Amino acid sequence: MQQEPPCSACGQPSHTSGVLHDRDHRPRWLDRCRQRFLTTPPTLRVPPARFLEELRAVTADARLPLHTYTDEGGWEGE
Residue 50 predicted with pLDDT over 80:
yes
Q: Where are the domains of the chain?
A: 1-70
Contact 35, 24 (CB under 8 A): no
**DSSP sequence for 41-61:** PP--SS-HHHHHHHHHHHHHH
**Per-residue pLDDT, 63:** 94
pTM, two decimal places: 0.44
| Residue 38 clears pLDDT 90, i.e. is over it | no
**Among the listed ranges 38-42, 56-60, 61-65, 74-78, which one has the minimum average pLDDT value?**
74-78
* Percent of the chain residues topping a pLDDT of 90: 10
Confidence of residue 78 (pLDDT cuts 50, 70, 90): very low
